[in-house]
Amino acid sequence: MTDHRLAKIFRLIEDIDDDCSTAIQCLEISRKITYDAQYLKRFSSSYSAHVIEYLQYAMLRDGISIFCRMWDTDKDSHSLPNLLIELERDEITSLLKENVQSFVLQKGERPAYINLVDKYGESYAQDFRASLKKKADEAVSHFMKTFGELINRPKESNFIELKDQLFNWRNQRISHRTEKTRADRKREKSGVPPIEPLKWGKMDEALKFTIKFYEDIRIQVDGMNISSQDTHRVWSVYAESFWNSISESPR
């Protein structure tokens, strides 16, 4: 779509695309030194184990930083929350609905259908146009239902809890070095249970949710099916090659 009203959305998408690719790279590069017990075993009695431990935390810090950047709520950030704000504007939602409808109705302009109209006459043309209009309306209804469900996905309690854990870890260990974050003190003052500590594996879960969510957003916005499977596969090969190039007998 080239409508000027979507220009800001595509500026956001360009940067979120980049963050999404970086998130995939982080997941694949960190996988072996996080979950491959057999691989890690070779370092267990070596000085190299200290470097592996550092790299584990470096990848964790990088992954959490990427996640927090993608979910940053600062009004100037090129992030998913600000993309959602743009998409929920009535003007943009109406434009997306128009695009869905016009995509279906354009079938009536294709030569194959025009030839059928010429062959069977105006009666067929009227029935065909009515059929297309019905399909277009159904497509718009399906779009609105799917779009509404998609917009609400980040509001699910499980994801909110997970997001709070990652942001709190970032604020306590990356942005600052503090015993309690503002979120901790706010909860404490309100008598709300504290944010649960972040566990290993939760960063992966959060990034996978984010990547899938962004892929689904792209399908709704411009029909782009940007499945990350190929990117995961390529970076899995790169990471495997790198980690396997390290000495079989580390010191």
DSSP secondary structure of 56-100: HHHHHHHHHHHHHHHT---TT--SHHHHHHHHTSHHHHHHHHHHH
**177/140 Cα distance (integer angstroms):** 50
**For position 223, what pLDDT does the model report?**
67
Other beta carbons less than 10 A from residue 228's beta carbon = 18
pLDDT interval class at 122 (50, 70, 90): low
What residue type is 83 in one-letter code? L
**40/52 Cα distance (integer angstroms):** 8
pLDDT interval class at 1 (50, 70, 90): very low
**With 70 as the cut, is the pLDDT of residue 110 above it?**
no
- Provide the mean pLDDT of the chain: 87
Q: Which residues of 29-64 are buried (b: 16+ CB within 10 A; e: fewer)?
A: bbbbbbeeeeebebbeeeebeeebeeeeeebbbbbb
The answer to whether 108 and 133 have CB atoms below 8 angstroms apart is no
Q: What is the pLDDT of residues 136-147, one digit of tens each?
A: 888 888 888 888
Per the listing, tokens 């944010």 go with 195
Domain ranges of the chain: 4-244
**With 90 as the cut, is the pLDDT of residue 161 above it?**
yes
Q: What is the pLDDT of residues 67-96, one digit of tens each?
A: 999 999 999 999 999 999 999 988 888 888
Q: Do you know the residue count of the chain?
A: 251
Other beta carbons less than 10 A from residue 133's beta carbon = 14
State whether residue 126 is helix, strand or coil: helix
Does the predicted model carry a pTM greater than 0.85?
Answer: no
Q: Rounded to the nearest 5 degrees, what angle is found at the Cα of 132, between the Cα atoms of 129 and 133?
A: 85
